[in-house]
């Protein structure tokens, strides 16, 4: 895969962020999500790939969302076929309330290399590079934390576990507290939180819990680029969610299978990009200097080289045809 694709997909996440940032704090999560989707779709039209959305915002009949199976990119027969996983706005509730860690995010891989995860839940366990190979999602929390603590050269009481603030995690919270570790709770924003485990300066050592399966695949691509480790198990919580699994060709054995990092994101040709929309621990939020200039902060990763780049950009809105079209529809961004 052309390494220049890394910077090309950053332009896609930047456009989604630019389109949605005007909704920050306005209580309209659907409007923000719709703007991000439209911005991302328009930006994809100039990327020279033959892409298919395998993780998206909805099914075919739910357009205008970026739906599963949608073809994107302007590639010709000579260009590579790729799988694309998107979340144009990870954290719709966050942007609606003006809270931190809303991001626009993309993962890209060669065709057939990203798990086609249904819109259901997934049990997840994620750690950074130093603890790679130390986790077993089927083992006890105590055993996992003991191994990770040893790999990090820490006592368990010095570890920080990040857990989504949901009732379904009460047992995990109780056990982590019994073991004496610190807990950091989060509300929304699965992807930004998951990859925080791979950056030492976030102070997060391990993520445990149940979150979105589509977000899990996107997170896996980033974790692999950064040399971390992740395991997951699809965990449908209703008959409707189980039906979605069956509709994608998954059987009960696959649904209960332990998914290793390579099951979620295969190979060494993976790209990941994210752009901050609201201020976060990993990425700064989009800053509106005036009616014509917005500054964005993004991260882009490539698994083949292990390169992680942070990109700051100032966008002149009157110089972008895509943004001008979005401004006409959504007003002064």
Residue 46, pLDDT score: 87
Query: What DSSP character marks residue 271?
Result: E
Q: Name the pLDDT band for 318 (thresholds 50, 70, 90).
A: confident
Which residue did the predictor score with more confidence, 18 or 65?
18
Which residue did the predictor score with more confidence, 62 or 316?
316
Q: Is the pLDDT of residue 131 over 50?
A: yes
What value, to the nearest 5°, has the Cα angle with vertex 94 and ends 229 and 272? Answer: 35
What value, to the nearest 5°, has the Cα angle with vertex 275 and ends 322 and 23? Answer: 65
Q: How many C-beta atoms lie closer than 10 Å to residue 326's C-beta?
A: 22
Q: Residue 24 has which token pair?
A: 């920050």
Least confident of 125-129, 213-217, 307-311, 319-323: 319-323
What value, to the nearest 5°, has the Cα angle with vertex 66 and ends 61 and 72? Answer: 115
H/E stretch holding 274 reads strand 270-276
Bridge partners, residue 167, by sequence: none
Which residue did the predictor score with more confidence, 214 or 322?
214
Q: Is the pLDDT of residue 268 over 80?
A: yes
Q: Give the separation between CA 161 and CA 145, rounded to whole angstroms.
A: 9
Least confident of 123-127, 188-192, 220-224, 228-232: 188-192
Q: Name the pLDDT band for 328 (thresholds 50, 70, 90).
A: low
Residue 332, pLDDT score: 53
Q: Is the pLDDT of residue 164 over 90?
A: yes
Residue 327, pLDDT score: 64
Residue 1, pLDDT score: 66
Q: Region 259-284: what's the mean pLDDT? A: 94
Residue 316, pLDDT score: 86
Q: Is the pLDDT of residue 151 over 80?
A: yes
Query: What DSSP character marks residue 58?
Result: B
Look at residues 318, 273, 319, 325 and name the one whose alpha carbon lies nearest to residue 297: 273
Q: Are 115 and 217 in contact (CB under 8 A)?
A: yes
Using a pLDDT cut of 90, give the percent of the chain over it: 66
Least confident of 47-56, 71-80, 190-199: 71-80
C-alpha dist (Å) from residue 275 to 134, 206, 251, 254: 30, 23, 35, 33
Calculate the dihedral angle through the C-alpha atoms of 53, 67, 248, 262, rounding to the nearest 10 degrees.
30
Q: How many C-beta atoms lie closer than 10 Å to residue 287's C-beta?
A: 14
Chain mean pLDDT for the chain: 90
Q: Give the separation between CA 136 and CA 300, rounded to whole angstroms.
A: 28
Q: Are 331 and 31 in contact (CB under 8 A)?
A: no
Q: Give the separation between CA 15 and CA 291, rounded to whole angstroms.
A: 16
Q: Name the pLDDT band for 80 (thresholds 50, 70, 90).
A: confident
H/E stretch holding 29 reads helix 29-44
Residue 60, pLDDT score: 41
Residue 64, pLDDT score: 56
Which residue did the predictor score with more confidence, 229 or 238?
229
Residue 214, pLDDT score: 92
pTM attached to this predicted model = 0.91
Which residue is it, tokens 């609201």?
278
Q: Is the pLDDT of residue 61 over 50?
A: no
Q: Is the pLDDT of residue 314 over 90?
A: yes
The gap from C-alpha 110 to its chain's centroid, in whole angstroms, comes to: 18
């Amino acid at each position: 895969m052309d390494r220049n694709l890394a910077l090309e997909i950053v332009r896609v996440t930047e456009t989604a962020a630019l389109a949605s940032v005007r909704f920050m704090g306005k209580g309209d999560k659907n409007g923000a999500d719709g703007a991000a989707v439209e911005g991302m779709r328009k930006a994809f039209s100039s990327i020279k790939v033959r892409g298919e959305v395998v993780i998206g915002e909805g099914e075919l009949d739910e357009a205008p969302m970026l739906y599963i199976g949608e073809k994107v990119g302007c590639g010709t027969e000579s260009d590579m076929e790729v799988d694309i996983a998107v979340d144009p706005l990870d954290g719709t509730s966050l942007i609606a309330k003006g809270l931190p860690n809303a991001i626009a995010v993309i993962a890209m891989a060669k065709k057939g290399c990203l798990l086609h995860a249904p819109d259901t839940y997934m049990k997840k366990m994620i750690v950074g590079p130093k603890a790679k190979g130390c986790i077993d999602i089927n083992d006890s929390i105590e055993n996992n934390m003991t191994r990770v603590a040893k790999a990090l050269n820490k006592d368990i009481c010095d570890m920080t576990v990040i857990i989504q603030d949901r009732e379904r995690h009460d047992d995990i919270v109780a056990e982590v507290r019994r073991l004496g570790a610190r807990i950091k709770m989060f509300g929304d924003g699965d992807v930004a939180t998951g990859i925080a485990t791979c950056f030492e300066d976030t102070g997060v050592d391990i993520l445990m819990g149940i979150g979105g399966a589509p977000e899990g695949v996107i997170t896996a691509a980033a974790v692999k680029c950064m040399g971390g480790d992740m395991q997951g198990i699809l965990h449908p919580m209703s008959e409707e969610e189980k039906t979605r699994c069956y509709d994608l060709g998954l059987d009960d054995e696959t649904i209960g299978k332990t998914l290793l990092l390579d099951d979620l994101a295969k190979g060494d040709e993976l790209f990941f990009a994210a752009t901050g929309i609201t201020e976060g621990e990993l990425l700064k939020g989009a800053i509106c200097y005036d009616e014509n200039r917005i500054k964005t902060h993004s991260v882009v990763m490539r698994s083949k080289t292990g390169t992680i780049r942070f990109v700051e950009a100032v966008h002149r809105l009157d110089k972008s045809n895509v943004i001008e079209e979005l401004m006409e529809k959504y007003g002064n961004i």
